Amino acid sequence: MRVLISVDMEGIAGVVHGDDIRPGHSEYERHRALLTAEADAAVRGVFAHDPGAEVLVADAHAQFRNLLPAALDRRAVLLRGAPRPDGMMAGLSTGPDAVLFIGYHGKAGTARSVLAHTVSGGVISDVRCNGRSLGELGLNVALAAHHGAAPVLVSGDDTVAAEAAEVAPGMRCVTVKNALGARAASSVHPEEACERIARAVPEALAGRADVRPLRLDGPVRLEVRVHRPHMTEYALLVPGMSRVDGCTLGYDAADLPSAYGVIELIATLGAVRL
């Protein structure tokens, strides 16, 4: 079995504030160690299910350089750095059987959700594919399904667990904290979070046939809403890009992987200072 583990940071136990996840702040170093511990717990869970598994761990937060390589199970392969194909889902091209999402968070606009955003909190306020609003979990679930990989487990706060029920019924959810607001949560101890993840992974992998993930087959009508009108201007230089309204860009993509790449491009171009 080949398993891809995509690891974000906002959904890690104990993380509640931007300083916890932003390089250069003292709290970041503490919390990147907790991030690595939860990722490592997921790796251990995979090997408990299948000792002969191949495990890829995709560092999927910010610039994808957060996990501490020396603290990760040596049996896993770490995918680190950016830019890279498939972004948060680097490794899909190797044909994994299943995908785990560790440390994930709610989509932009989710009420009472810890550090909720979609792709780029400083640029994007909503992403719609064929009219359906999707966050990072929904986009990545659909991308996994497009490549034939079963999205079997997500960990994070209670709001991302609710989102998982909408985009992938049957997916296992490990709730490591309950959101009290955008920057507040009731969190389990980090060691308890790791134990919960390690226990849940074998069950999730064993039940992967029961997951019914969102699928976006065929062309995708993409609409990306940004926070301010000037954030659309560089993206409008891309052939085929259109402006739906002052803050919304539209694009007709041939398929989901193409739409996924355009979302990443809009996030990058929208952050450029005019």
Measure the CA dihedral 183/157/195/45, to 10°.
-130
Question: Which residues, 6 or more positions from 181, have their beta carbon under 8 angstroms from its beta carbon?
Answer: 112, 114
Any catalytic annotation for residue 117?
yes
191 is in an annotated binding site: no
SS3 of residue 40 by DSSP: helix
SS3 of residue 124 by DSSP: strand
Report which of 43, 140, 47 is spatially closest to residue 89, judged by C-alpha positions. 140
Question: Pairing mode, if any, of strands 54-59 and 2-7?
Answer: parallel
105 is in an annotated binding site: yes
136 is in an annotated binding site: yes
25 is in an annotated binding site: no
For residue 190, whether the previous peptide bond is cis, meaning omega lies within 30 degrees of 0, is no
DSSP 224-270: EEESSGGGGTTGGGSTT-EEEETTEEEEEESSHHHHHHHHHHHHHHH
29 is in an annotated binding site: no
Q: Which of 25, 31, 49, 117 does the annotation list as catalytic?
A: 117
Report which of 262, 256, 258, 232 is spatially closest to residue 132, judged by C-alpha positions. 256
- Residues belonging to the binding site for Zn(2+) are 8, 10, 61, 105, 136
Catalytic residues: 117
- Residues belonging to the binding site are 8, 10, 61, 105, 136
